[in-house]
Amino acid sequence: MAQENSIAADPASSLKEQSRIISFEGCEIWLCEEKVVVDSRVPLPDFTVREFARPRIYFESACYYVSEKSSSSSAPVVHRYVLTPWPKNDEAITREIVLNEQYLLERADERRRRRR
């Protein structure tokens, strides 16, 4: 019996069917309770898992940080980032990222330029 793709077999994937999904070219963003899950075909190098100096990620007027990240092991590779709400008492000044279609298109363009 063949093993399934780690992301496809992930229990969170079953929650995806019950969530509101926002699709962009090469990317799906879905809301899972208070968290946001980003499944992207291109890696998002700005999305780092860090305890300190983590980037603030703004999505739909809310602020998040990357709490988990993983990649599938089979083609096409999917990079999954789990965003958790930014703690209310954390006022650290860090780099800000606005997660929107423009941001995702810029990352895809950068990747294409580097591959040439």
DSSP 56-78: EEEETTEEEEEEEEEE-SSSSP-
pLDDT band, residue 10 (cuts 50/70/90) = low
Alpha-carbon distance of 83 to 35, in angstroms, equals 6
- Which tokens in the block code for residue 2? 């063949």
Alpha-carbon distance of 62 to 84, in angstroms, equals 10
Alpha-carbon distance of 60 to 55, in angstroms, equals 16
Q: Where are the domains of the chain?
A: 11-115
Distance from the Cα of residue 76 to its chain's centroid: 16
pLDDT in tens, 13-59: 666 676 788 888 889 999 988 999 999 998 999 999 998 889 999 99
